[in-house]
């Protein structure tokens, strides 16, 4: 088993800084300045418009303090001392593909959110993930499936991210492309059932069995019906600095994957030095073996917490 790399995480930097004190200080400064202005003005010279604008500034600043204090209180109560989990989907999918793992993680007290991005360019998808990080408390763990592995490899360099979990996913190094990684191995069966039209890559219904063949037929049909096609050139973008070089990583290999070659998954997980397990699953392990995926994510979360406590 490969050794898990860890980044330097101090307990001081692990949780967000409380900025209420700074905000209060700013508001007090505004109030002091306004008080001096009012003291220097006579009753007859103070115009109605000045009075109204002064009141508006004071009221707005007071709401800012109260709102920020409430926000921080909500974050503290929602995280239960645990990192948030941000999910990143692959091609022919959207954020709902993680529904079976989100529910038990939420029940265990984790704050979860699934990023939704249009699969137009990797740069845009990474940017949306970073915006999504702003909607949950920090620190966070990124979980990427399939092409989502490329997304978390790029977005994971964000300081709010403390760990990466890959599910049957790509994990390129700097300068590598998704197409280049896939090209290292024989073409998988699912790509025999695709059609390029209108600038997108569409999976035909016949390909769904190669995508998630270990699900009941009814579920396979839902997966196909909710699939979203990527831009035809999505896989041509080179990776910048990969997050797995500085952040600890965990990897799930799908031994029966017919979309991303299992040998490619083993190659990238070994190169990352990721803690790795192998499942008898299709490409969509988070749907067919949800509990095993939940267990892996919780291991990653616990390891991040233990590192922060040192």
- 194 forms beta bridges with 203
Do 103 and 70 share a structural domain?
no
pLDDT digits (tens, 9 = 90+) for 132-151: 999 999 999 999 999 999 99
Which of 58, 79, 100 is the last residue in one of the domains?
A: 79
Query: Distance of CA 174 to CAs 91, 136, 255, Å?
Result: 21, 28, 26
In a domain, 7, yes or no: no
Cβ atoms within 10 A of the Cβ of 65, count?
A: 15
For residue 121, what pLDDT is reported?
98
Number of domains in the chain: 2
Residue 56's domain comprises 18-79
272, 253, 60: which is closest to 163 by C-alpha?
A: 272
Contact 215, 282 (CB under 8 A): yes
Contact 287, 215 (CB under 8 A): yes
Which residue ranges of the chain lie beneath pLDDT 50?
Answer: 1-78
pLDDT digits (tens, 9 = 90+) for 33-75: 433 433 344 344 434 444 444 434 334 444 344 444 433 443 3
* CATH classification of the domain holding 207: 3.40.50.1820
């Amino acid at each position: 088993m490969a050794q898990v790399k860890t980044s330097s995480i101090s307990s001081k930097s692990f949780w967000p800084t409380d900025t209420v004190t700074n905000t209060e200080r700013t508001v007090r400064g505004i109030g002091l300045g306004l008080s001096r202005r009012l003291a220097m003005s006579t009753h007859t010279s103070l115009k109605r418009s000045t009075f109204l604008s002064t009141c508006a500034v004071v009221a707005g600043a007071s709401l800012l303090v109260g709102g920020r204090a409430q926000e921080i209180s909500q974050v503290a109560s929602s995280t239960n001392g645990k990192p948030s989990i941000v999910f990143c989907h692959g091609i022919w999918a959207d954020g709902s593909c993680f529904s079976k793992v989100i529910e038990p993680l939420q029940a265990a007290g984790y704050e979860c959110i699934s990023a939704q991005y249009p699969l137009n360019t990797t740069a845009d998808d990474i940017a949306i993930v970073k915006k999504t990080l702003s909607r949950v408390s920090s620190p966070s763990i990124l979980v990427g499936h399939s092409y989502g592995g490329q997304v978390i490899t790029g977005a994971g360099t964000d300081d709010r991210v403390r760990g990466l979990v890959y599910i049957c996913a790509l994990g390129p190094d700097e300068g590598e492309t998704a197409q280049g990684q896939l090209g290292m191995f024989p073409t998988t069966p699912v790509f025999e059932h695709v059609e390029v039209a209108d600038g997108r890559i569409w999976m035909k219904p016949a390909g769904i069995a190669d995508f998630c063949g270990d699900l009941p037929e009814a579920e396979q049909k839902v997966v196909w019906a909710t699939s979203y096609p990527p831009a035809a050139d999505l896989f041509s973008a080179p990776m910048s600095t990969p997050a797995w070089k500085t952040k600890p990583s965990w990897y799930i290999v799908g031994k029966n994957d017919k979309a991303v070659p299992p040998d490619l998954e083993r190659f990238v997980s070994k190169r990352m030095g990721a803690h790795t397990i192998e499942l008898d699953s299709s490409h969509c392990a988070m749907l067919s073996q949800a509990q095993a995926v939940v267990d892996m994510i919780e291991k990653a979360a616990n390891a991040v917490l233990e590192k922060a406590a040192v």
